[in-house]
Structure 1
Amino acid sequence: MKMTLDADKIIKTVDILAQRVGERFPDAGLCRVAKDFTLVARKARGDAAGLGKANWRLRLMTLAVLAMGLILFGFVVTELRFNAPLREVGKLVQILEPAANIAILVALGIAFIVRMEGRWKRKNALASLHSLRSLIHVIDMHQLTKDPSVLLGGIEPTASSPERLMNRVELQRYLDYCSEMLSLSGKLAALYTQSIQDEVVIQTVNELEALSTNLTRKIWQKIMMLDHTGPARRPRKRVK
């Protein structure tokens, strides 16, 4: 039984996550990122599905090259049969030589078109995966300044310190949402490997999954620190 990711269920999960973020942090920048995430997810689903479909323009070009080769071969045979009977060995050689040349040219033409389709799909896949990579870094930027050690006390904020208004519970939920978005980003990237078996695309997807996993691991280290902060409380205000 072949196991595959269901793109529609991934989109549904992304939509629910965006709603959760909006309900919990309606004024936070992460809420806008979550909304953008839903758009990126839908685009990724469409792009990945499109890669699995045949490019009929290039397929028609392949058929045209094949038809042209058959026409040329038929023309050569007709000309030789009209001028002399094919029972003579010399005439057979005259047919085989141009026929071999035509076959080689047709094979090269078809191979070129097939490789062109592969390069076209690879280019589109890498462009879409680049958008996912950018999104992953944007998510990471939103959790970058969420430092749980501030809630432990003993750290006096300065005038340049980022404003931290979340208590332990809120910060934990915020980091959870970032972790979920990073995980779903990896799942969206994996959709491309289900549609195209290209070494470069597979390597790029593996790199994105590794990136999202490493960033998620950093977030969970922060969440583990929150378990030692005690009751929920607000951090100190910045020193003016």
Structure 2
Amino acid sequence: MNDKTDSFVLRDDRIIATVATLRRRIEERFPGSGLSGLCQRLLDVSQHAAERANQISQPIKSIRILGFAMATLLIVVLVASVIYALLKVEADKIGVLEWIAAIESGLNDIIFFAIAIYFLVRLETRIKRERTLKAIHELRAIAHIIDMHQLTKNPERYVREWTDTKNSPKKTMSAFELNRYLDYCSEMLSLIGKIAALYVQHFDDADAVAAVSEVEQLTTGLSRKIWQKIMILEQTRVLDDCNDTQPDQPDSPCPTTPT
């Protein structure tokens, strides 16, 4: 495979390396955190995903062999039926009714074997689809867990006028650390979409592709929500800088409130 073809293929080793690098970055920034442990889980899943995707793309040999044997048997039965009919014609001069009965019997055998072969072909697809959907469901669950991790990370708490209540989450991060935390969550969500795409890269099944599209839509929506928080945090930082450098100036170009 040449380089031009490789550029249009998702490489599982690159995805795994990216997830591993992200896990190290999170651990360095937030050692021992739940997000670091979750990224380790995502790394394990990405490594297994490479193996699963490769297995799904490969034919199931037992089903293929059985289908080939039945197809061969179908051809043998068909040829034997024709030879038997011709020999019968030469020996007994059979009439129209006997011909009709022989043809009907042969057609029944052909239909039976054809249905069996079709069932085996569909069985292989169903088995692969079930494996794919199970793996994608695992990725969907991780995406929701990531969303739970960033759920209480409210950037508006960094506004100077903010007042905590008795049950407010504890503020344990600086604005910069919160920015990095949210960005890590967004990166993990993006990688989930890439891992999901591995399963259908060489398995063109409509149900599996639809499930991957749903996961990508989910992660994109969650990531968009996170980036809204990052934008609020950035606007809050800009507002604080303006208030520190240009206090009480009505003609200041700084925004008055974060939006």
TM-score computed with the length of structure 2 as normaliser: 0.81
- Alignment match of 2:134 (pick from 118, 127, 130): 127
- Matched to 2:77, the amino acid is L
- Alignment match of 1:98 (pick from 105, 108, 111): 105
Q: Give yes or no for contact 1:140–1:215 (8 Å, CA) kept in 2.
A: yes
Match in the other structure for 1:238: none
Q: Give yes or no for contact 2:186–2:223 (8 Å, CA) kept in 1.
A: yes
Q: Give yes or no for contact 1:69–1:106 (8 Å, CA) kept in 2.
A: yes
Alignment pair present for 1:47 and 2:23: no
Alignment pair present for 1:204 and 2:204: no
Match in the other structure for 2:254: none
* Cα deviation 1:85-107 (Å, max 9, x = unaligned): 28957476665443333222221
Which structure 2 residues correspond to residues 115-154 of structure 1 after superposition, within 5 A? 115-154=122-161
- Matched to 2:73, the amino acid is M
Structural RMSD (CA): 2.3
C-alpha distance in structure 1 between counterparts of 2:230 and 2:78, whole Å: 72
Which structure 2 residues correspond to residues 53-72 of structure 1 after superposition, within 5 A? 53-72=58-77
User: How many Å apart are 1:184 and its aligned residue?
Assistant: 0.4
- Alignment match of 1:162 (pick from 164, 169, 172): 169
Q: Give yes or no for contact 1:58–1:113 (8 Å, CA) kept in 2.
A: yes
Q: Give yes or no for contact 2:88–2:94 (8 Å, CA) kept in 1.
A: no
Match in the other structure for 1:8: 13
- Alignment match of 1:17 (pick from 14, 17, 22): 22
* Cα deviation 1:19-51 (Å, max 9, x = unaligned): 111111012110110111101111222222211
TM-score computed with the length of structure 1 as normaliser: 0.88
- Matched to 2:190, the amino acid is S
- Matched to 1:22, the amino acid is E
Identity between Structure 1 and Structure 2 (%): 38
Match in the other structure for 2:43: 38
C-alpha distance in structure 2 between counterparts of 1:88 and 1:9, whole Å: 72
* Cα deviation 1:127-175 (Å, max 9, x = unaligned): 0000000000011111111111111122222232111211111111111
Q: Give yes or no for contact 1:168–1:226 (8 Å, CA) kept in 2.
A: yes
* Cα deviation 1:63-112 (Å, max 9, x = unaligned): 22123323433543454455552895747666544333322222111111
- Matched to 1:59, the amino acid is R
C-alpha distance in structure 1 between counterparts of 2:147 and 2:16, whole Å: 21
Give the unaligned 5+ runs of structure 1: 233-240
C-alpha distance in structure 1 between counterparts of 2:200 and 2:69, whole Å: 30
C-alpha distance in structure 1 between counterparts of 2:94 and 2:178, whole Å: 88
Q: Give yes or no for contact 2:139–2:196 (8 Å, CA) kept in 1.
A: yes
C-alpha distance in structure 1 between counterparts of 2:235 and 2:18, whole Å: 30
Q: Secondary structure at the match of 1:175?
A: helix
Larger Rg: 2
- Alignment match of 1:182 (pick from 174, 185, 189): 189
Which structure 2 residues correspond to residues 78-117 of structure 1 after superposition, within 5 A? 79-80=84-85, 83-85=88-90, 90=95, 96-117=103-124
Give the unaligned 5+ runs of structure 2: 241-259
C-alpha distance in structure 1 between counterparts of 2:20 and 2:63, whole Å: 36
- Where relative contact order (Cα < 8 A, 6+ residues apart) is larger, the structure is 1
- Matched to 2:200, the amino acid is T
- Matched to 2:13, the amino acid is D
